[in-house]
């Protein structure tokens, strides 16, 4: 993240390995209520998707922890379905990272016209 020229740490950004968490402020939530909604994304190759998502901080409002199935007796089919649902949740959580980060930078005046071009 530190090598990214567009990245600037702020009061709403928590650095963590291998990325960072983004916590939207109240004014940002009022200005852009879409942040709490789910969006669909364009499919990217797995390597490009991971690289792209790690460039943008994770929105802490979309944190999903799947239930632990180690102590529950489930069939292998049910475990596969749970894994699929977890993967869907994980990918949906990353969809709005670029939009959230872009809005955050615009609201805090960290980007100017030459940077955006």
Distances in Å between the Cα of 84 and the Cα atoms of 58, 60, 78, 87, 102 are 21, 21, 10, 5, 29
Higher-pLDDT residue of 104, 8: 104
Measured CA to CA, the distance from residue 53 to residue 97 in angstroms comes to 7
Tens of pLDDT, residue by residue over 66-111, are 666 566 677 889 889 988 998 888 887 777 777 777 777 777 776 6
Q: Across all residues in the chain, what is the average pLDDT?
A: 71
> What are the residue ranges spanned by the domains of the chain?
13-110
Look at residue 1 in the predicted model and tell me its pLDDT.
42
Confidence (pTM): 0.29
Given a cut of 70, whether residue 33 has pLDDT beyond it is: yes
Q: Compute the average pLDDT of residues 27-32.
A: 82
């Amino acid at each position: 993240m530190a090598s990214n020229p567009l990245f600037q740490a702020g009061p709403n950004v928590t650095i963590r390995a291998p990325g960072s968490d983004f916590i939207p402020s109240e004014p940002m939530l009022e200005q852009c209520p879409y942040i709490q909604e789910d969006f669909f994304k364009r499919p990217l190759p797995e390597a490009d998707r991971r690289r792209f998502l790690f460039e943008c901080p994770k929105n802490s409002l979309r944190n999903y922890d799947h239930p632990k199935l180690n102590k529950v007796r489930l069939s292998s089919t049910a475990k596969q379905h749970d894994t699929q649902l977890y993967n869907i949740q994980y990918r949906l959580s990353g969809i709005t990272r670029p939009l959230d980060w872009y809005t955050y930078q615009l609201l805090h005046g960290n980007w100017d016209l030459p940077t955006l071009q």
